[in-house]
């Protein structure tokens, strides 16, 4: 039977493929295809891991003290039995042999299948054995991790067996750090139960430019391993086991979207200038140094936001030192070939925890509100040693090209002064050790309403500003951007949000300071005319959005749009006013 599940649209396009269900706690397991010639060795890895775990369990059994409860021995026997059970051993092997999954992926795929069966059992005792099964799989995964050969193949390794279907990842939640490992992965679509349109998981999915739906509530419960799925990233809909007619309709849409995409790609070399001759800078948002290639390919004229925190995440506490960071920043600067690179200082916290704990777990485990806590610049200023390392690393990269530093979550004048001091200290340290660096401009992210309201003060202490609409909306409307239950209230068209954005752009323009928008609004064509009307001439977005935004820019008359702005801002329902008044100005 075909089922439809509604969620939040995250990343455009249509994906059609088979479901790969991944438990949230298992998304950090490597997922890659192996070649035909590696199948035997991979099955061998699995066998070795099983033997190692069996030896571990037998040893544990022999160590159980005599006086210990017999239950412990019985439990270890259950684990041994599960380890050798056909359902786990044989079926996992089949994922490797038939699908060419790597051993870890095969193991977690099979765990998912069996766990479902346990969930459906009537008998309480048997249902509870699921926890034992998870423990056994956990041991097996640890054993696999200890094997040296368990390394993913180099990026781009060929999927060299015929007939495989495209795959769509379905999980309850995926932490932003875990999304990163899927960047060049085998999946052609994503679905998660939780998350809002601008949650960081959604942002990373969008940067990968593959269709995704988040906040699809029960999706991971409804979908079964291997089900056929359609992910409609434009409408935010997941269709499970579609009928042949629906499938054909979506295949047709998929082809049309590809044609549209190809048309847009032709704008790559077209200058980004409005009809009335105003140049508009289109910059790229990136998460990893390797994304710089996509930024260049899209025709971006620089990096407007490098979310450096992704270098810091999912590292089990071992943060990148100055040298490692310097190499990463330098790679971006060199890849951008002289174009400006804006590096944002680390913005961890809230839905971007440092370790692999998912945002979901984080929300439930912490009673305090992490979005209002020690995140972004607050965290950096509380860790002067780490902050100094990051500033020195960025300054050193500035010797290789034009670099700008962007500070997240600024709200106080004192923060501006403290950052300037830290920067002066970092410069002095480099000068003392004879390390070269060039001039860097310092910018503030305007993403807390208080910062927008004290623009006249902040602008005196920063060389440029960049508006983070994702957080600005979250904090203005008191809506957790990652919480799907209030996603319908997350409204970029809210009059209060529009006033803050318009004011910030106007104040910066009056002061002659560069201003850009680097939140998701900048890459959404629904807002291009509005932002142009507000006087914005610099947009920073996912590389995949550059062409679509350029198309809007070159069809707009910025001066004519500006005359409509007061009416839009004064309207009771700005979205309606904007759509009618601003559309008339687009040619
Ligand atoms: C924003 O808040 O708009 C922004 C660009 O930063 P991030 O999404 O990383 O919080
Ligand atoms: Mg932000």
Ligand 1 atom, smallest distance to 307 CA: 9
Top-confidence residue, 420 or 265: 420
Atom 10 (ligand 1) nearest CA: 471
| Residue 417: pLDDT band with limits 50, 70, 90 | very high
In eight-state DSSP terms, residue 151 is: P
DSSP 333-370: HHHTTTS-EEEEPP--BTTB-SSS--HHHHHHH-SS-G
* Residue to substitute in 287, 303, 471, 542 for testing ligand 1 pocket (most ligand atoms within 8 angstroms of CB): 471
Question: Where in the sequence numbering do the catalytic residues fall?
Answer: 200, 518
| Residue 68: pLDDT band with limits 50, 70, 90 | low
What is the distance between the alpha carbons of residues 214 and 186, in angstroms, rounded to a whole number?
19
Top-confidence residue, 99 or 377: 377
Handedness of CA 219, 310, 178, 99 (dihedral sign): positive
Residue tagged 């972004």 (tokens): 376
Instruction: State pLDDT tens for residues 112-165.
Output: 888 888 888 877 777 778 888 888 888 898 898 887 554 555 444 434 443 478
Residue 193, pLDDT above cutoff 80: yes
CB 308 within 8 A of CB 333: no
DSSP 116-140: HHHHT-S-HHHHHHHHHHHHHHHHH
- From the CA of 467, the nearest ligand is 1
Q: Cβ atoms within 10 A of the Cβ of 321, count?
A: 11
Using a 6 Å CB cutoff, which residues line ligand 1?
203, 305, 307, 347, 447, 468-471, 518-519
Mean pLDDT across the chain: 89
Ligand 1 atom, smallest distance to 408 CA: 6
Pairing state between β 515-517 and 464-467: parallel
Ligand 1 atom, smallest distance to 520 CA: 3
Of 83-97, 359-373, 452-466, least confident by mean pLDDT is 359-373
**Ligand 2 is an ion; residues with CB less than 5 A from it:** 447, 468, 471
The alpha carbon of 359 and the centre of ligand 2 are apart by a number of angstroms equal to 15
Q: Enter the tokens of residue 482.
A: 């990652």
Q: Enter the tokens of residue 318.
A: 């071992």
Q: Output the pLDDT for position 483.
A: 87
Q: How far is CA 362 from the centre of its chain?
A: 16
| Residue 67: pLDDT band with limits 50, 70, 90 | low
Coil, strand or helix at 81:
helix
Q: Output the pLDDT for position 119.
A: 80
- Phi-psi label, residue 315: left if phi above 0, alpha if psi -120 to 50, beta otherwise: alpha
Q: How far is CA 239 from the centre of its chain?
A: 23
The residue-averaged pLDDT of 566-580 equals 94
Coil, strand or helix at 293:
helix
Q: Output the pLDDT for position 45.
A: 93
CB 351 within 8 A of CB 313: no
| Residue 367: pLDDT band with limits 50, 70, 90 | low
Top-confidence residue, 152 or 232: 232
What is the distance between the alpha carbons of residues 106 and 103, in angstroms, rounded to a whole number?
5
Q: Output the pLDDT for position 161.
A: 44
DSSP 433-496: TT------EEEEEE-SHHHHHTHHHHHHH-SEEEE-HHHHHHHHHT--TT-GGGGGG--TT-HH
What is the distance between the alpha carbons of residues 181 and 238, in angstroms, rounded to a whole number?
23
Q: Enter the tokens of residue 456.
A: 């006249």
Top-confidence residue, 503 or 10: 503
Cα-Cα-Cα-Cα torsion 58, 59, 60, 62, nearest 10 degrees, comes to 90
| CA-closest candidate to residue 216, choices 173, 246, 181 | 173
Pairing state between β 464-467 and 441-446: parallel
- From the CA of 497, the nearest ligand is 1
| Residue 484: pLDDT band with limits 50, 70, 90 | confident
Q: Enter the tokens of residue 324.
A: 């490692």
Phi, psi of 545 (to 5 degrees): -95, -10
Of 1-15, 291-305, 447-461, least confident by mean pLDDT is 1-15
Q: Which residues is 170 bridged to in the sheet?
A: 21, 191
| CA-closest candidate to residue 501, choices 412, 568, 563, 555 | 568
The residue-averaged pLDDT of 558-579 equals 95
Ligand 1 atom, smallest distance to 347 CA: 9
What is the distance between the alpha carbons of residues 546 and 544, in angstroms, rounded to a whole number?
6
Atom 4 (ligand 1) nearest CA: 468
Atom 3 (ligand 1) nearest CA: 468
Q: Output the pLDDT for position 72.
A: 78
The alpha carbon of 577 and the centre of ligand 1 are apart by a number of angstroms equal to 27
Residue 325, pLDDT above cutoff 70: yes
Atom 8 (ligand 1) nearest CA: 470
Residue tagged 């040298």 (tokens): 323
Q: If you average pLDDT over each of 182-186, 367-371, 510-514, which comes out highest?
A: 510-514
Residue tagged 């999946």 (tokens): 187
């Amino acid at each position: 039977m075909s089922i439809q599940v509604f969620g939040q649209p995250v990343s455009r396009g249509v994906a059609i493929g088979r479901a790969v269900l991944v438990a949230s706690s298992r998304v950090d397991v490597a997922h890659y295809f192996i070649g035909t010639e590696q199948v035997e060795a991979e099955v061998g890895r699995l066998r070795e891991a099983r033997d190692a775990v069996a030896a571990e369990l037998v040893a544990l059994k022999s160590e159980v003290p005599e006086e210990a409860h017999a239950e412990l021995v019985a439990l270890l026997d259950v684990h041994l039995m599960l380890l050798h059970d056909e359902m786990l051993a044989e079926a996992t092997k089949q994922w490797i042999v038939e699908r060419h999954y790597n051993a870890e992926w095969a193991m977690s795929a099979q765990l998912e299948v069996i766990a479902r069966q346990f969930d459906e059992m009537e008998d309480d005792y048997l249902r509870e054995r699921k926890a034992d099964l998870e423990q056994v799989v956990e041991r097996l995964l640890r054993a696999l991790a200890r094997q040296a050969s368990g390394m993913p193949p180099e990026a781009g390794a060929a999927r060299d067996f015929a007939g495989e279907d495209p795959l769509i990842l379905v999980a309850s939640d995926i932490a932003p750090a875990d999304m990163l490992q899927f960047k060049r992965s085998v999946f052609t679509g994503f679905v998660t139960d939780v998350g809002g349109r601008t949650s960081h998981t959604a942002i990373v999915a969008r940067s990968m430019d593959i269709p995704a739906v988040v906040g699809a509530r029960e999706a991971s419960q409804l979908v079964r391993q291997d089900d056929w799925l359609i992910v409609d990233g434009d409408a935010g809909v997941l269709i499970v086991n579609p009928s042949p007619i629906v499938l054909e309709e979506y295949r047709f849409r998929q082809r049309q979207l590809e044609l549209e995409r190809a048309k847009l790609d032709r704008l790559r070399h077209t200058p980004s200038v409005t009809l009335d001759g105003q140049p508009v800078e289109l910059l790229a948002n990136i998460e990893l140094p390797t994304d710089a290639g996509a930024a260049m390919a899209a025709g971006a004229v620089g990096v407007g936001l490098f979310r450096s925190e992704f270098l810091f995440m999912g590292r089990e506490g071992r943060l990148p030192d100055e040298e490692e960071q310097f190499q990463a920043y330098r790679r971006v600067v060199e890849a951008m070939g002289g174009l400006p690179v804006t590096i944002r200082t680390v913005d961890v916290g809230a839905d971007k925890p440092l370790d692999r704990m998912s945002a979901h777990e984080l929300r439930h485990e912490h009673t305090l509100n992490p979005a209002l806590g020690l995140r972004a610049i607050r965290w950096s200023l509380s860790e002067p040693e780490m902050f100094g390392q990051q500033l020195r690393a960025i300054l050193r990269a500035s010797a290789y090209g034009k670099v700008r530093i962007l500070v997240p979550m600024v709200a106080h004048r004192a923060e501006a002064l403290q950052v300037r001091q830290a920067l002066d200290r970092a410069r002095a340290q480099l000068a003392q050790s004879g390390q070269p660096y060039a001039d860097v401009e310092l910018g503030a992210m305007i993403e807390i309403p208080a910062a927008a309201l004290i623009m006249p003060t902040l602008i005196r202490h920063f060389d440029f500003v960049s508006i983070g609409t994702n957080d600005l909306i979250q904090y203005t409307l008191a809506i957790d951007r990652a919480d799907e239950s209030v996603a319908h209230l997350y409204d970029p068209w809210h009059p209060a949000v529009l006033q803050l954005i318009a004011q910030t752009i106007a104040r910066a323009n009056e002061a002659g300071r560069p201003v850009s928008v680097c939140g998701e609004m900048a890459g959404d064509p629904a807002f291009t005319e509005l932002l142009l009307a507000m006087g914005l001439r610099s947009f920073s977005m996912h590389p995949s959005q550059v062409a679509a935004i350029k198309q809007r820019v070159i069809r707009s008359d910025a001066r004519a749009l500006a005359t409509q702005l007061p009416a839009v801002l004064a309207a009771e329902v700005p979205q309606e006013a904007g759509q009618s008044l601003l559309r008339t100005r687009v040619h």
